[in-house]
Amino acid sequence: MKKIFTLFLFVFICSFAVNSYSQTYTDYTWDSQSLKFKIPNTFEVTDNNSEKFSAGDNLIWLTIYPKTGSALKYSEMINMLTSWAKENDVYAYGTVKTETNFNGFWGVYLDGKLASNDLPVYCAMFVHPDYPSQYYYVWINYNADDISTAEDILLSIKPMR
């Protein structure tokens, strides 16, 4: 009986510890840009206007830049994203990849490292499915240990319809 109680107590403590460290999120709606996504409750929003959304904590930084222009081809987007990455000192990114259906968007992306802090960075350029002349640069810079939270944020970005 003592072994069962000890086992029960151990499982209870472990489940409490796991739950106390799990990330909690806030749903965010950026009406002016027809986007919705979630950000960790620990994030401080530093910019929220028609030109940029930016938020982060000491572990992860998210920035989204909306742009408008003519409808783009993949080749143009690859060139634009590569230039943007270089301008922002992203290195070690290899080949830019294409995505035909990312939460309803289509576009291009790359994984690299940011020179200023030597941390992983995800850079993307996605076209809104309902507005072909509206696209977004997405930037997530994160500590490697926090990749699952960075992925959660990224996978939560969706077009509003």
pLDDT at 19: 38
* Secondary structure (DSSP) of 27-86: EEEEGGGTEEEEEETT-EEEEESSS-EEEE-SSEEEEEEEEE-S---HHHHHHHHHHHHH
- Domain with 119 in it: 24-159
Q: Which H or E element spans position 87?
A: helix 74-87
For 140, the 3-state DSSP assignment is strand
Q: Walk along the chain (161 residues) and give the pLDDT tens digit of each residue.
A: 454 433 333 444 444 344 335 789 999 999 889 899 999 999 999 999 999 999 999 999 999 999 999 889 999 999 999 999 999 999 999 899 999 999 999 999 999 999 999 999 999 999 999 889 999 999 999 999 999 999 999 999 999 87
DSSP 23: -
Residue 118 lies in a domain: yes
Q: Report the CATH number at residue 60.
A: 3.40.1000.10
Quote the pLDDT of residue 31. 87
The answer to whether 54 touches 63, Cβ cutoff 8 Å, is yes
pLDDT of amino acid 22: 73
Q: Decide if 83 is inside a domain.
A: yes
Q: What is the pLDDT of residue 156?
A: 95
Question: What pLDDT was estimated at residue 71?
Answer: 86
Does a structural domain hold residue 84?
Answer: yes
Number of domains in the chain: 1
